[in-house]
Chain A
Amino acid sequence: MKEEVTLAALFDFATEGILVTNQKGEIIRINRAAEIMFGYEKGELDHRPIEWLIPMKARPMHSKYREGFAKDPHPRGMGKGMDLFAVRKDGSEFPVEVSLSPFTVNEHAYVIAFIIDITVRKQQQDAIRQQKEMLEAYSENLKASNEELQNFAYISSHDLQEPLRKIRAFGDRLKMMEYDKLGDQGKDYLDRMLNAAVRMQTLINDLLTFSRLTTRAKSFQPVDLEKVLREVLSDMEVTVEKSGAVIRHDPLPVIDAEPTQMRQLFQNLLSNAIKFRHENSVPEVTISCRTVHDDYGNELAEIRVKDNGIGFDTKYNDRIFNIFQRLDGLKYEGSGIGLAICRKIAIRHGGNITAESEPGKGATFIVTLKKQQFVPIPNEEND
């Protein structure tokens, strides 16, 4: 007795809609949740054909389905991945998910149907799909704009380089043919002109490099900074040897990064450390690393590149990271974009760069880089 009462309570108070049909497709038992879902009064649906709950146009089909189901009854779900609709008393249709279970009592066949109104779920899915489409469209736009920028930068630099190449080539030719006839001032002017052309070529190349930090960036991947440092030092072997520089470093971690840009970063910092050395002392460069956290609790790798070179006045700290800012005039080689590139790279990697220094006493450049970067999961088809 108790169990029957419990079961009855379960049936009547279930939040899912539940109904039972007989072999003729008549509703012989229906719970309150189902009646409410379909907009009927208590008892209104008793002994009514199940087709009342099916939209008009689907009714003929449904009868056929029922016959087929009766011949081969087995538990099944309906409406998953499809648009299955039911109809309320007032004629309005709504999407449902239905699961059917056949059972037999005294050789009579019945079917239990569990019904969920998935209107809200569908709306949410549609909203998500819309957002996804918007994001994809936005991302496509971004890609297109990026490509345009890249083309522009490449074409500008290419077209700008051509006249420069001519200036240098003809200037060079002039030197070859007429140098002796030029006189001291003439020679000087010619040399200055050619130097200026070379500087301009370097500037254009550097600008191209700078713009490519965004337009040609590859995606983030685990990068072994030890390996990067080794490779950069290997590339710089000649410079290191010539200057007699001594380079020490802490072990460096593996972080999520853009591999080319990590190389550029270390290349710039190390080449600066060696370039701005004292004339008559052995340049010493020390690279240290530790973990710090940013304001959001993210782990950052803090890398310090310390040299014993000429240093600089830190009141220029902001300026040196701007494009083309140089503190030394034209005394040292380079266009002044190296640190701007380092800063852009650091910021792209969720960190930053700053410097500590005293004139005559060397400089320490401090770079922070996020250890982990968000990598979007490639699109998978959802059910």
Chain B
Amino acid sequence: MSAARTKLQILIADDDAEDRMLISDALRESKYRDHISQVENGEELIDFLHQETKRPDLILLDLNMPKKDGREALKEIKTDELLKNIPVVILTTSNSEDDIEITYSLGGNSYITKPSGFHDMVEIMENVCRYWFKISELPNKAG
């Protein structure tokens, strides 16, 4: 039951500080983002999400993190009544097909392998944000 937002509140979960920096820089180029928050691991992610006032419109989730990795966190989010409708886009260095399958089976909304070029990252973030922003505006979302 979120109030209509004009832009997206985005949460980045990644244990690598440089990657967090690159992702948020790439997001800044996107006109759809409103506010960017960051957490370092799965534990912090879940704690953050349980604070109702801070719930994001989109989560960018790395898979390999200490203290509860992305897979576990994804599972918890997608089985939690209050959290399961938040779109979770996996953003990882892994290009293993196993990880793609795991993501899908746990209810992940998309799977992106981190690109090498910054330009590519910007383009990807632009596309992801536009998609989920449009979705969030639809009157009859599923779920």
- Chain A residues proximal to chain B, CB less than 8 Å: 158, 161-162, 164-166, 168-170, 172-173, 176, 198, 201
CB distance from B70 to the nearest CB of A (A): 16
Quick check: which of B35-43, B51-59, B113-121 contacts chain A, the rest being far away? B113-121
Q: Which residues of chain B have C-beta atoms less than 8 A from A166's C-beta?
A: 18
Q: Which residues of chain B have C-beta atoms less than 8 A from A165's C-beta?
A: 93, 114, 116
Contact present for B93 and A169 (CB under 8 Å): no
- Of the listed residues A161, A162, A168, A169, the one surrounded by the most CB atoms of chain B closer than 10 A to its CB is A169
Instruction: Tell yes or no: B82 within 8 A of A by CB.
Output: no
CB distance from A249 to the nearest CB of B (A): 32
A172 to B116, CA, bound (A): 9
Which are the 4 A-B pairs with shortest beta-carbon distances? A172-B118, A173-B118, A168-B116, A172-B117
Given contacts A165-B116, A168-B117, A201-B116, contact A173 B93 (CB under 8 A): no
Q: Which residues of chain B have C-beta atoms less than 8 A from A158's C-beta?
A: 93
A248 to B18, CA, bound (A): 51
CB distance from A175 to the nearest CB of B (A): 8
Digitize B93-137: 1 where CB-to-A-CB distance is under 8 Å, 0 elsewhere: 100000000000000000000101111010000000000000000
Q: Which residues of chain A have C-beta atoms less than 8 A from B72's C-beta?
A: none
A169-B121, A172-B118 known; 5 new pairs, CB 8 Å cut-off, are: A169-B22, A169-B116, A170-B18, A176-B118, A198-B116
A198 to B117, CA, bound (A): 10
What are 25 A-B contacts with C-beta separation under 8 Å?
A158-B93, A162-B93, A165-B93, A165-B114, A165-B116, A166-B18, A168-B116, A168-B117, A168-B118, A169-B116, A169-B117, A169-B118, A169-B121, A170-B18, A170-B22, A170-B118, A172-B118, A172-B119, A173-B22, A173-B25, A173-B118, A176-B118, A176-B119, A198-B116, A201-B116
A170 to B118, CA, bound (A): 7
Q: Which residues of chain B have C-beta atoms less than 8 A from A173's C-beta?
A: 22, 25, 118
Q: Which residues of chain A have C-beta atoms less than 8 A from B22's C-beta?
A: 169-170, 173
A168 to B114, CA, bound (A): 12
- Of the listed residues A161, A164, A165, A170, the one surrounded by the most CB atoms of chain B closer than 10 A to its CB is A165
A252 to B10, CA, bound (A): 56
Q: Which residues of chain B have C-beta atoms less than 8 A from A170's C-beta?
A: 18, 22, 118
- Chain B residues proximal to chain A, CB less than 8 Å: 18, 22, 25, 93, 114, 116-119, 121
Summarize A's interface: helix, strand, loop or mixed: helix
CB distance from A160 to the nearest CB of B (A): 12
Q: Which residues of chain B have C-beta atoms less than 8 A from A164's C-beta?
A: 116
A173 to B18, CA, bound (A): 13
Q: Which residues of chain B have C-beta atoms less than 8 A from A168's C-beta?
A: 116-118
A173 to B114, CA, bound (A): 15
CB distance from B64 to the nearest CB of A (A): 10
- Of the listed residues B93, B114, B116, B117, the one surrounded by the most CB atoms of chain A closer than 10 A to its CB is B116
CB distance from B118 to the nearest CB of A (A): 4
CB distance from B122 to the nearest CB of A (A): 8
Q: Which residues of chain A have C-beta atoms less than 8 A from B117's C-beta?
A: 168-169, 172
- Of the listed residues B114, B117, B119, the one surrounded by the most CB atoms of chain A closer than 10 A to its CB is B117
A162 to B62, CA, bound (A): 14
Q: Which residues of chain B have C-beta atoms less than 8 A from A201's C-beta?
A: 116
A173 to B117, CA, bound (A): 8
Q: Which residue of A lies closest to B93 (CB)?
A: A162
Q: Which residues of chain A have C-beta atoms less than 8 A from B119's C-beta?
A: 172, 176
A340 to B117, CA, bound (A): 29
A158 to B95, CA, bound (A): 11
- Of the listed residues A161, A164, A166, A201, the one surrounded by the most CB atoms of chain B closer than 10 A to its CB is A166
A169 to B119, CA, bound (A): 8
A241 to B16, CA, bound (A): 43
A172 to B25, CA, bound (A): 12
Q: Which residues of chain B have C-beta atoms less than 8 A from A162's C-beta?
A: 93
Q: Which residues of chain A have C-beta atoms less than 8 A from B114's C-beta?
A: 165
Q: Which residue of B lies closest to A154 (CB)?
A: B96
Q: Which residues of chain A have C-beta atoms less than 8 A from B18's C-beta?
A: 166, 170
A89 to B20, CA, bound (A): 87
Q: Which residues of chain B have C-beta atoms less than 8 A from A198's C-beta?
A: 116
